[in-house]
Amino acid sequence: MLPETICAARSPFWMPPNASLHGVALDQLMRWNIIAVCVCFLAAHVWLIAAIFRRRHAPRSASSVLRWTLLTALCCMYIWMAVTAQHLWARSRYAGPSPEAMQVEVVGEQFQWYFRYPGADAAFGPTRPELANAAEGNPLGLNPQDTRSRDDIVSSVLVLPAGREVDLRLRSLDVIHGLFIPGMRLKENAVPGLVLHVHFTPTTPGTYPILCSQVCGLGHARMQAVLSVVSPAEFDAWLASHAGTRSEPQSQ
Ligand SMILES: [Cu+2]
């Protein structure tokens, strides 16, 4: 509880409160990293100051044992942190989501995020770049003649139900963008020509800022969106209100 209290007290200098399932373990690892770095920093300075004042020909047998003990402990701790970090990274990217996970496509374009839901057929329809026209409400180039594309829902707000896993598939239409949701402890790049997946489970209803973590052009700073985590019933109502509309890029 003490680290949580310290984090809350220093909220302007710390990350926003975690609202995702995997974020608990990630925050714990982050705290261990910071503690380890602080201890190493202090120990190094104590050792430096002690070395300055130590007599040149003082006996070294005791300090040698202490030095090797500390070095071994440090190596073990960093191996443990590296393995834990690798495990956390792989679990949200390589392990794959559960079959019940909701599918949402995230598309980055200078300087806007678009979020596409597959609609009633649970399949993302094909897109055609020549049909893309944001001013006419079709920023991703959905083909209205294609039955798979027709029911897809495009929104500028990412709306998700609390407590359900979501599998994001990230694409970019121009340059490399970085989807960053600090409140969800989530960061993944959107790379032109690639479809990258990352999955997570939001746990706490609320609104969370979505940022771009890659410097993607002059408008990079204003490439922001909002994640709205709502109850399952509210999410169903939101989805139903958007069903049948080809795309609503400016509405929630
Ligand atoms: Cu960007």
Distance CA 236, CA 13 (A): 37
Using the predicted structure, report yes or no on whether residue 11 has a pLDDT greater than 80.
no
> What is the per-residue DSSP string for 93-159?
HTS---TTPEEEEEEEETTEEEEEE-TTTTSPPPB-GGG-BGGGTBTT-B-TTSHHHHT-EEESEEE
Give DSSP secondary structure letters for 199-214: EE-B-S-EEEEEEE-S
**Ligand 1 centroid from CA 109, angstroms:** 7
At residue 57, the pLDDT reads 61
For residue 161, which of 233, 241, 107, 225 has the smallest C-alpha distance? 233
pLDDT for residue 247:
47
Q: Which tens digits make up the pLDDT trace of 31-69? A: 888 988 998 899 889 988 988 887 666 665 567 777 788
Amino acid 155: pLDDT: 93
- For residue 183, give Cα distances in angstroms to 12, 13, 15, 199, 204: 14, 14, 8, 15, 10
Distances (CA, A) of 36 to 2, 80, 195: 17, 12, 36
Cα(217) to ligand 1 centroid in Å equals: 7
Tokens found for residue 251: 């509405």
User: 218 CA to middle of ligand 1, Å?
Assistant: 10
Residue 6 pLDDT class (50, 70, 90 cuts): very low
**23: CA distance to ligand 1 center in Å?**
24
Ligand 1 centroid distance, CA of 247 (Å): 22
- pLDDT recorded at residue 3: 44
Question: What was the pLDDT predicted at 15?
Answer: 84
38: left (phi over 0), alpha (psi -120 to 50) or beta: alpha
Find the 234 Cα to ligand 1 centroid distance in Å.
Answer: 29
129 pLDDT higher than 90: no
Q: In angstroms, what is the span from residue 138 Cα to ligand 1's centroid? A: 20
pLDDT reading at 170 higher than 90: yes
Share the mean pLDDT of the chain. 86
In the reported structure, the alpha carbon of residue 121 is separated from the centroid of ligand 1 by a whole-number distance in angstroms of 30
Question: What digits encode the pLDDT tens for the residues 70-120?
Answer: 888 888 988 988 999 999 888 888 888 888 899 999 999 999 999 999 988
State which H helix or E strand residue 22 sits in.
Answer: none
54 CA distance to ligand 1 middle (Å): 54
Encoded tokens for 126? 């094909």
Q: pTM to 2 decimals?
A: 0.82
Distance 248 CA to ligand 1 centre (A): 21
In contact, 157 and 106? CB cutoff 8 Å: no
What confidence tier does 215 reach under pLDDT thresholds 50, 70, 90?
very high
Among 5-14, 138-147, 166-175, 223-232, the minimum mean pLDDT is found in 5-14
Q: What is the pLDDT of residue 175?
A: 96
What Cα–Cα distance (Å) separates residue 181 from each residue in 20, 23, 43, 151, 226? 10, 11, 35, 27, 9
163: left (phi over 0), alpha (psi -120 to 50) or beta: left
pLDDT at 163 over 90: yes
Q: How far is the CA of 173 from the centre of ligand 1 (A)?
A: 11
Q: What angle do CA 19, 22, 26 make, to 5 degrees?
A: 95
Determine the distance separating the centroid of ligand 1 and the alpha carbon of 111, expressed in angstroms.
Answer: 6
CA–CA distance, 144 with 168 (Å, rounded to integer): 24
Whole-angstrom distance, CA of residue 159 vs CA of residue 104: 10
The least confident of 99-113, 118-132, 185-199 is: 118-132
Structure letter (DSSP) for residue 175: S
Question: pLDDT-based confidence at 250, cuts 50/70/90?
Answer: very low
pLDDT at 4 over 90: no
